[in-house]
Chains A and B, each alone.
Chain A
Amino acid sequence: MSEFTRYLGRIASGAASLVSGMEVTIRYMFKPVVTVRYPRLRLDIPEGFRGPVELVTDPETGDHNCSACGTCARVCPSGVISVQGGKKKAAGQDGEGAKAPEDPFVITDSFIIDFSRCSLCGLCVESCPRKALRFSHMYEQCGTSRQVAVVDLVARQKALAAVGCEPAASRPGPQQQAAA
């Protein structure tokens, strides 16, 4: 008989556990959904977000602060950065010299970075002696070939400036996000 009562007890306790589980799911069913309707709505990207690096545009000169010292290229774990710089005599003519009195003659020709191999560790940004690099807030990156990810940041910055893009274009503010 005790075996039989245990049998009934197993049925009862099992059923009770199932009912309490169903109580949880039905309660959750009437909770508000957590999904954000991307791409109709976007989340705000917090300040510390590490997107692919970009050159900081100096508000005074409208140009970058890179002096092609190569610290970032040396520290990069994946070796994705290559910086080319040359000596240009006319400091001040292109506004570069004014910001860099200690080495006025070095001008960065190109700052090529391969985003496809970048691990966003942040060592380049931290090691830059002139704070010329920062993280962008871009997070939608796709391309049709690997070459798309290889970008010359200097050329891109020039191109952006040519079409009158604001320096902070890669960091959309909350208003832009809501509009999108």
Chain B
Amino acid sequence: MQGLMQSAAASLSPTVWTMVLGLVLSLGFVQVNALFLVWLERKVAAHIQLRIGPDEVGPFGLLQTLMDGLKLFVKELITPKPASWFLFVISPVLVFAPVLVPFVVLPFGQWLQVSDMPEGMLLIFAFASMTVFAILLGGWSSNNKYALLGAIRSVAQNVAYEIPLLLSAMSVVLMARSMSFQDIVGAQQGVWFVFYQPVAAIIYLIGATAETNRAPFDIPEAESELVAGFHTEYSGMRFALFFLAEYTNMFIVASVATALFFGGWRGPFADGPWWFLLKVYVLIFVVMWVRWTFPRLRFDQLMVFAWKYMIPVALANLLLTALVLKLVA
């Protein structure tokens, strides 16, 4: 029996083992990161609004989110009677599952990456767009009109904003001539791509904000209109999973932005994962700063903005990039 196990283990390539290890570590990182980000969000919001923010639990209130998480953990899971039970229960899981996968290819450092796939960037975008299924299912299966409206908005928004997101990322891919993150970061040896591609970087950041349903693009959960949007009926840990997914998604899009435009783990000195994390958190801070400054767009304006402004500009930028690359090369 033991021999069988050993041979089975041996037959698995080392890649699989690193992947399993990476996933387990990612799972831990996701939790800690979300705890930190929620705390950071609340602190940033508080100080922008002349408040203190979480302060009581732990040093600087750092453990506040943990306590909130514990509270959500012990809360009752309410399933509305008219809800479609199976879909209602499964969608929080569905929203959380795909946010783990991108961690496999995120280039934290030159040696700190689970697996550098040649199509790494594509993998992230593929899985990032899966969140919308879960939101649609969750909103629809709640059998709540507000949740349904939120879910419908979410789908339209995600479809519209994925296009400029991909177009702006493609400009970088054209420059690096690869979709592998190691190659992309390697291509930014001297100058970060943000200086070659400022338009693409801005479009990517706007699109990423919309993709993660954050203000001013938070119309799927627009609390002043739709109460809580697609997660109106969710409570306890199910709600927490939506929440966790949102903050992890934020981390992922910021990581991708760092790798694509801001030189990844490279810094002025001592290249390493610390540079990567620093840049990611600075980007996240900017996203938070934006959230606590602007009002929310209206749904149709959001669409107009995506189709009439972002997509044409992103497309023009991509064509220009291709043209210039052709001429230079």
Q: Is there any pair of Cβ atoms, one from A and one from B, under 8 angstroms apart in the complex?
A: yes
**A residues adjacent to B (C-beta < 8 A):** 11, 18, 21-22, 24-26, 28-35, 37
Rounded to whole angstroms, the CA-CA distance of A34 and B294 in the bound complex is 22
Best-surrounded residue of A11, A25, A34 (most CB of chain B within 10 A):
A25
Specify which of A11, A22, A24, A33 is in contact with B47 (CB 8 Å cutoff): A33
Rounded to whole angstroms, the CA-CA distance of A113 and B22 in the bound complex is 69
| A contacts with B: majority SS | helix
Query: Is B20 part of the binding interface, using a Cβ–Cβ cutoff of 8 Å?
Result: no
A21, B50: Cβ atoms closer than 8 Å: no
A103 smallest CB distance to B (angstroms): 56
A35, B50: Cβ atoms closer than 8 Å: yes
* CB-defined contacts of A30 to chain B, threshold 8 Å: 47
A99 smallest CB distance to B (angstroms): 50
A119 smallest CB distance to B (angstroms): 31
Closest to B305 in A: A14
Closest to A21 in B: B293
Query: Is B289 part of the binding interface, using a Cβ–Cβ cutoff of 8 Å?
Result: yes
Number of interface residues of B (CB under 8 A): 16
A33, B293: Cβ atoms closer than 8 Å: no
Query: Is B278 part of the binding interface, using a Cβ–Cβ cutoff of 8 Å?
Result: no
Which residues of B from 198 to 239 have beta carbons under 8 Å from A?
none
B47 smallest CB distance to A (angstroms): 5
Contact A33:B48 (CB < 8 A) given known A18-B294, A22-B293, A25-B293: no
Contact A33:B51 (CB < 8 A) given known A11-B309, A18-B294, A22-B289: yes
A31, B50: Cβ atoms closer than 8 Å: yes
Rounded to whole angstroms, the CA-CA distance of A24 and B289 in the bound complex is 11
Closest to B312 in A: A7
Rounded to whole angstroms, the CA-CA distance of A18 and B290 in the bound complex is 9
**B residues adjacent to A (C-beta < 8 A):** 44, 46-52, 55, 289-290, 292-294, 309, 313
* CB-defined contacts of B290 to chain A, threshold 8 Å: 22
Rounded to whole angstroms, the CA-CA distance of A29 and B289 in the bound complex is 10
A25, B50: Cβ atoms closer than 8 Å: no
A28, B294: Cβ atoms closer than 8 Å: no
A35, B52: Cβ atoms closer than 8 Å: yes
Rounded to whole angstroms, the CA-CA distance of A31 and B293 in the bound complex is 16
Best-surrounded residue of A24, A26, A28, A29 (most CB of chain B within 10 A):
A29
Rounded to whole angstroms, the CA-CA distance of A30 and B48 in the bound complex is 8
B308 smallest CB distance to A (angstroms): 9
Rounded to whole angstroms, the CA-CA distance of A25 and B55 in the bound complex is 21
A25, B52: Cβ atoms closer than 8 Å: no
A21, B294: Cβ atoms closer than 8 Å: yes
Specify which of B50, B52, B289, B309 is in contact with A26 (CB 8 Å cutoff): B289
A28, B289: Cβ atoms closer than 8 Å: no
Rounded to whole angstroms, the CA-CA distance of A26 and B294 in the bound complex is 13
* CB-defined contacts of A35 to chain B, threshold 8 Å: 50-52
A7 smallest CB distance to B (angstroms): 8
Closest to A28 in B: B48
* CB-defined contacts of B294 to chain A, threshold 8 Å: 18, 21
Besides the contacts A25-B48, A32-B50, A35-B51, what 9 more A-B pairs have beta carbons closer than 8 Å? A22-B290, A25-B289, A28-B48, A28-B49, A29-B47, A29-B48, A35-B50, A35-B52, A37-B52
Rounded to whole angstroms, the CA-CA distance of A28 and B50 in the bound complex is 7
A33, B50: Cβ atoms closer than 8 Å: yes
Closest to A37 in B: B52
Rounded to whole angstroms, the CA-CA distance of A29 and B47 in the bound complex is 5
Q: List 15 A-B contacts (CB under 8 A).
A: A11-B309, A18-B294, A21-B293, A21-B294, A22-B293, A24-B293, A25-B48, A25-B292, A25-B293, A31-B50, A32-B50, A33-B50, A34-B51, A35-B50, A37-B55
